[in-house]
Chains A and B, each alone.
Chain A
Amino acid sequence: MDLLNALVALTNFVIVPGLAYGSQLALGALGVTLIYGILRFSNFAHGDTMAFGAMVTILFTWLFQSVGLSAGPLPTALLALPFGILGTIALALFTDKTVYRFYRQQKAKPVIFVMVSLGVMFMMNGIVRFIIGPGDQRFTDGERFVISARTFKKLTGLDEGLAIKTTEALTVVTAVIVVAVLFWFLNKTRTGKSMRAYSDNEDLALLSGINPERVVMYTWMIVAALATIAGVLYGLDKSFKPFTYFQLLLPIFASAIVGGLGNPIGAIAGGFIIAFSEVTITYAWKKVLTYGLPDSLAPDGLVQLLSTDYKFAVSFAILIVVLLFKPTGLFKGKAV
């Protein structure tokens, strides 16, 4: 019984939140890694693209809620998601046409692209705040829990509760589906193959008749869709606030780099590594150990490796170690 309690406590406070947070980071990192692999620059505007996508989705969600449309137990935002994706695709293609294409034609160096994306980031930052404001927006509706801590306790008779939020379950399921579709697209379809060819060797791809503008266009569309999905899932699970999306940029880049920039599998692995390292290394094991060990061995202290103040230090320490010993990331991306 005690062992079960220990297991439940661990699942509730480490595994479930870690999985959800990891999926959100993985989706974000996928977008960053695709841009890096195909367009060859680090897109700092990605966090704010996510915020923009989430914002459009929220506006549509409010519209649907006001006309009484709902998805039953699931959040209404799911119905609004396709519109959010369309809006973000439009924005991404518009910025590419007006900003990035100019530099691409000039064959600008990657570092210039990075600076350009920084500018785009500030623009998007402003647009989002201008339209929806800097404050917290809540748009979650529908059933809040798949299982709440109280129901779980009643059901099992255990001392520890296990809560799984609908949004957490939704995040993981959506992430799995999106990743499956993305890999199928990249590996099996003609467009996907031409994207990979362009990523591997630009000149060779051009020689074999691949239209670069088309590849770029598809990349932006996919990235916009990924960013919107990641942004909406994050907003549903936590809350929507433009500033937190800007802050999210750091762990997302850490995930992409740890996994290997330009490598989609690496981005996913990196997302989970960063999420779990943040949660587990700063976790206080007192409760779990008190349940798991015989009374005589039960700890008095918190059994916490590092205080939670250091949780960001943890992800960056991992980042530095990976860069020192494997500069291309765990899954061999392009050199950074």
Chain B
Amino acid sequence: MKKLLMATAAVALTAGTAFAGGHAKEVKLGVLFGFTGPIESLAPAMGAGADLAMEEVTKSGKLLDSATVTPVRADTGCIDNGLAVANGEKLVAEGVNGIIGGDCSGVTGAILQNVAIPNGMVMISPSATSPGLSSMEDNGLFFRTSPSDAREGQVMAEILKERGINSIALTYTNNDYGKGLADAIKTSFEEVGGEVTIVTAHEDGKGDYSAEVGALASAGGDILVVAGYLDQGGLGIIQGALDSGAFETFGLPGGMIGDTLPQNVGPDLDGSFGQIAGSDSKGAEIFAEMAKERGFDGTSAYASESYDAAALFLLAMQAANSTNPADYVGKILDVANAPGEPINPGELGKALEILAAGGEIDYQGATGVELIGPGESAGSYREIEVKDGKNETLRFR
């Protein structure tokens, strides 16, 4: 026992000195995503995207006094407000300089209200898209590199109209994201003269969706729009609707776009279509290339937005010459928007140099970042159709 104690003490001592040594100049960014829960299949690529930007900056050695940037990961569970807030507080306690996250809209609002505002911490979310977050009181601390779902509703309505679809049945996952998106789609589609036969919620994490499918089938419609998650109820609804012959074509908003959906559903999904936030900027290609080298899929949903969120933090810190949230928060819109030198992914070193010299940049990043209104992306979308079991990009709008 005595030996064990001695050994423990020794280890603790060395660990302590190691920490002190590396502490000279370190920037910590919290990465607060749903590594478990409904979008757990998207979170790894999102985390990798954020890491990529931090690594690039660390390697360039040009941030502040050649500071190193370390990611500190924590889990939101995507739909678990308690867990997300607890982990948000943990990150603040660990001394992060900013939080990339949250991911799903409900927990993002909870973290913003309970952690970010009381602590004056800045949050940039890559994937929270609820329209409600645009009007939420945020003391100017909240930004997002993804557009609001209100915009996605308009885009979806345009696509539906162009494809000659006049009536849809609509189901959404029962949370802030699903409800907000469903409302946006319904309003926009009715504005262009379409008919929404039914709007019904489904709960995630259940196995049996026959009641929902029955109601949707009875209401009818040309196609079924599923504003849900591809790992969860969305998949169950599509499977149930296909099996019972209720619907053959599906409209798939952002949360349903991912490689696992066509894989799990099989050839029956061919011909279904949808859209996800994304752009055809040069940055998207460069980012996909960089991601490939690092061994993850850069076109995975919200991976590029995560890269941009991390980059915006670091560029704003450089512009303000401070890692204090209160100092750099005012610079985020400056570095994201014109005027200035356009910056693509992989050029973060150059951007840091320009900023250090007192110049201006217009960060484009992997998604053609343009922050509008209360600090959210203006929003360009990638239109997708499922062909031969793959999500094919048709065009950008």
- Asked whether any CB of chain B lies closer than 8 Å to the CB of A114, the reply is no
List A257-310 residues whose CB lies under 8 Å from chain B: 278-279, 282-288, 302, 304, 307-309
List B208-233 residues whose CB lies under 8 Å from chain A: 208, 210-215, 217-220, 231
**Contact between A279 and B205 (Cβ–Cβ < 8 Å)?**
no
Cβ–Cβ < 8 Å partners of A104 in chain B: none
Determine the residue in chain A with the shortest Cβ distance to B209.
A238
Number of residue pairs across A and B with beta carbons under 8 Å? 103
**Contact between B207 and A283 (Cβ–Cβ < 8 Å)?**
no
**Contact between B219 and A248 (Cβ–Cβ < 8 Å)?**
no
Count A interface residues, CB 8 Å: 43
What is the CB-to-nearest-CB distance from B239 to chain A, in angstroms, rounded to a whole number? 8
- Asked whether any CB of chain A lies closer than 8 Å to the CB of B163, the reply is no
Given contacts A12-B244, A307-B201, A309-B201, contact A279 B210 (CB under 8 A): yes
List B188-204 residues whose CB lies under 8 Å from chain A: 198, 200-203
- Asked whether any CB of chain B lies closer than 8 Å to the CB of A150, the reply is yes
When the two chains form the complex, which single residue of A150, A247, A288 contacts B205, counting CB atoms closer than 8 Å? A247
A287 to B220, CA, bound (A): 8
Can you report 15 A-B residue pairs in the complex whose CB atoms are below 8 A from each other? A13-B214, A13-B244, A13-B246, A134-B36, A149-B245, A153-B245, A234-B207, A238-B239, A239-B239, A247-B205, A248-B207, A278-B208, A287-B218, A307-B200, A308-B202
List A1-38 residues whose CB lies under 8 Å from chain B: 9, 12-14, 17-18, 21
What is the CB-to-nearest-CB distance from A285 to chain B, in angstroms, rounded to a whole number? 7
Looking at A165, A238, A239, A304, which has the most chain B CB atoms within 10 Å of its CB?
Answer: A238
Determine the residue in chain B with the shortest Cβ distance to A145.
B243
- Asked whether any CB of chain B lies closer than 8 Å to the CB of A193, the reply is no
Determine the residue in chain A with the shortest Cβ distance to B217.
A13
Cβ–Cβ < 8 Å partners of A282 in chain B: 211, 214-215
Cβ–Cβ < 8 Å partners of B200 in chain A: 307-309
- Asked whether any CB of chain A lies closer than 8 Å to the CB of B174, the reply is yes
Cβ–Cβ < 8 Å partners of B215 in chain A: 282-284, 302, 304, 308
- Asked whether any CB of chain A lies closer than 8 Å to the CB of B236, the reply is yes
Determine the residue in chain B with the shortest Cβ distance to A24.
B208
A284 to B236, CA, bound (A): 19
**Contact between A9 and B211 (Cβ–Cβ < 8 Å)?**
no
A307 to B36, CA, bound (A): 29
- Asked whether any CB of chain A lies closer than 8 Å to the CB of B264, the reply is yes
Cβ–Cβ < 8 Å partners of B231 in chain A: 135-136
Report whether over half of chain B's contact residues are helix, strand or loop; otherwise say mixed.
mixed
Given contacts A238-B208, A238-B239, A308-B202, 17 further A-B contacts (CB under 8 A): A12-B244, A13-B213, A14-B214, A17-B244, A134-B36, A134-B40, A138-B264, A148-B245, A161-B244, A161-B245, A244-B205, A247-B207, A279-B210, A282-B214, A282-B215, A308-B200, A308-B215
Given contacts A138-B264, A302-B198, A309-B200, contact A247 B206 (CB under 8 A): yes
When the two chains form the complex, which single residue of A145, A165, A241, A302 contacts B218, counting CB atoms closer than 8 Å? A302
- Asked whether any CB of chain B lies closer than 8 Å to the CB of A163, the reply is yes
Determine the residue in chain A with the shortest Cβ distance to B201.
A309
- Asked whether any CB of chain A lies closer than 8 Å to the CB of B235, the reply is yes
**Contact between A287 and B217 (Cβ–Cβ < 8 Å)?**
yes
**Contact between B206 and A13 (Cβ–Cβ < 8 Å)?**
no
- Asked whether any CB of chain B lies closer than 8 Å to the CB of A46, the reply is no
**Contact between B207 and A238 (Cβ–Cβ < 8 Å)?**
yes
**Contact between A288 and B218 (Cβ–Cβ < 8 Å)?**
yes
B interface list, Cβ under 8 A from A: 36, 40-41, 174, 198, 200-203, 205-208, 210-215, 217-220, 231, 235-236, 239, 243-246, 264
A161 to B245, CA, bound (A): 7
What is the CB-to-nearest-CB distance from A206 to chain B, in angstroms, rounded to a whole number? 41
Cβ–Cβ < 8 Å partners of B205 in chain A: 243-244, 247
Determine the residue in chain A with the shortest Cβ distance to B41.
A135
Given contacts A238-B208, A285-B218, A302-B218, contact A165 B213 (CB under 8 A): no
**Contact between A302 and B219 (Cβ–Cβ < 8 Å)?**
yes
A interface list, Cβ under 8 A from B: 9, 12-14, 17-18, 21, 134-136, 138, 145, 148-150, 153, 161, 163, 165, 234, 238-239, 241, 243-244, 247-248, 278-279, 282-288, 302, 304, 307-309, 311-312
Determine the residue in chain A with the shortest Cβ distance to B260.
A136
A163 to B231, CA, bound (A): 25
Cβ–Cβ < 8 Å partners of B219 in chain A: 284, 286-287, 302
**Contact between B218 and A308 (Cβ–Cβ < 8 Å)?**
no
**Contact between B244 and A149 (Cβ–Cβ < 8 Å)?**
yes
**Contact between B244 and A9 (Cβ–Cβ < 8 Å)?**
no
Looking at B198, B200, B208, B235, which has the most chain A CB atoms within 10 Å of its CB?
Answer: B208
Cβ–Cβ < 8 Å partners of A279 in chain B: 210-211, 214
A143 to B269, CA, bound (A): 19
A286 to B169, CA, bound (A): 14
A7 to B244, CA, bound (A): 15
What is the CB-to-nearest-CB distance from B186 to chain A, in angstroms, rounded to a whole number? 15
A14 to B231, CA, bound (A): 25
Given contacts A150-B245, A308-B200, contact A17 B210 (CB under 8 A): yes
Given contacts A134-B36, A138-B264, contact A308 B211 (CB under 8 A): yes
**Contact between B211 and A163 (Cβ–Cβ < 8 Å)?**
no
Cβ–Cβ < 8 Å partners of B245 in chain A: 12, 148-150, 153, 161, 163
Give the top 9 A-B pairs by smallest Cβ distance, nearest first.
A149-B245, A17-B210, A13-B214, A284-B218, A238-B207, A161-B245, A244-B207, A287-B218, A284-B215
What is the CB-to-nearest-CB distance from B152 to chain A, in angstroms, rounded to a whole number? 23
Cβ–Cβ < 8 Å partners of B235 in chain A: 136, 239
A312 to B219, CA, bound (A): 21
Cβ–Cβ < 8 Å partners of A234 in chain B: 207
Determine the residue in chain A with the shortest Cβ distance to B244.
A163
**Contact between B218 and A13 (Cβ–Cβ < 8 Å)?**
yes
Looking at B36, B244, B246, which has the most chain A CB atoms within 10 Å of its CB?
Answer: B244
Cβ–Cβ < 8 Å partners of A150 in chain B: 245
Cβ–Cβ < 8 Å partners of B244 in chain A: 12-13, 17, 149, 161, 163
Cβ–Cβ < 8 Å partners of A312 in chain B: 203
Cβ–Cβ < 8 Å partners of A285 in chain B: 218
**Contact between B201 and A9 (Cβ–Cβ < 8 Å)?**
no
A61 to B41, CA, bound (A): 24
Cβ–Cβ < 8 Å partners of A288 in chain B: 218
A308 to B220, CA, bound (A): 16
Looking at A153, A283, A312, which has the most chain B CB atoms within 10 Å of its CB?
Answer: A283
What is the CB-to-nearest-CB distance from B140 to chain A, in angstroms, rounded to a whole number? 36
